[in-house]
Amino acid sequence: MFSLQKLLGKDDKFFDFLEDSAQQVCNNVQALIALLRQPDAAGSLADFKESRHHGKHITEDIAEHLCKTFVTPIDREDIESLSDALYKIPKMLEKFTERFILFHQPLEGQDFSRQIAILDQAAGTLLQMVKSLRQNPKIDRIKVQTDRLHELEGEADQLMLQLLCDLYTHKYEILETIILRDLYELLEKAIDRCRDAGKVVFHIVLKNS
């Protein structure tokens, strides 16, 4: 197995950045869970914004260090691809949060817990995959985790169909139907983004195996 770490010796800053970015994805999910529980609590929204802001800085740090570094532990295009894939997840959650905050009062009592539970599992799996990059990850292990992300994405697709079926067969107000569909789709896309980032990790390990 090709050693990713040997190529750069003890300089693990890019692995640190990527792991921190993946951890921020998990932090964003947890902040979102807290916000959904207490949408009127200023602290819940502040926690989400702080986590989102930190994640954005990590992406900027990666771009800056790529410009300053000649030798990288993995191909720089792979670092860029993974950084971009990780950045898109909290970006999608930010869109959800903006809309939820705007309309949460007329949607009081709506349950997003099933989609959030899938998203939480996907974010945790992705974090494990990113953390394994600094070691000598075996392709079989990464394949299992990649398959798990695909399973979660499939569960999210099935749940989305159930949610839409419920949405269109019950007597919701038109505006409420539009808002809920938008929020459901944003959460589904966030789960899809986790799968996409996992595919980048798989590609990196496969490429260097």
- Write the single-letter amino acid at 81: S
53 domain residue, yes or no = yes
Q: What is the pLDDT along the chain (209 residues), one digit of tens a residue?
A: 444 444 444 457 889 999 999 999 999 999 899 888 887 765 666 667 777 777 778 888 888 888 877 777 888 899 999 999 999 999 899 899 888 888 877 777 788 999 999 999 999 999 999 999 988 778 999 999 999 999 999 999 999 999 999 888 877 788 888 899 999 999 999 999 999 999 999 999 998 87
| C-alpha distances out from residue 10 to 53, 72, 134, 205, Å | 28, 12, 10, 19
1 domain residue, yes or no = no
Confidence (pLDDT) at 23: 94
Confidence (pLDDT) at 70: 74
148 domain residue, yes or no = yes
Q: Quick check: helix, strand or coil at residue 47?
A: helix
Tally of domains within the chain? 1
Confidence (pLDDT) at 168: 85
Hunting for tokens 């839409």 — which residue is that? Answer: 164
For residues 96 and 93, give the distance between their C-alpha atoms in angstroms, rounded to a whole number.
5
Going by C-alpha positions, the residue among 32, 180, 168, 34 that lies closest to residue 111 is 180
87 domain residue, yes or no = yes
Element counts in the chain: helices (H) and strands (E): 7, 0
Confidence (pLDDT) at 116: 96
Confidence (pLDDT) at 65: 82
Confidence (pLDDT) at 5: 46
Confidence (pLDDT) at 43: 61
* Domain of residue 42, CATH code: 1.20.58.220
3 domain residue, yes or no = no
Helices 76-103, 42-68: inter-axial angle, 10-degree rounding: 160
For residues 40 and 43, give the distance between their C-alpha atoms in angstroms, rounded to a whole number.
9
For residues 150 and 88, give the distance between their C-alpha atoms in angstroms, rounded to a whole number.
18
pTM: 0.87
**Structural domain containing residue 93:** 9-207
- Write the single-letter amino acid at 107: L
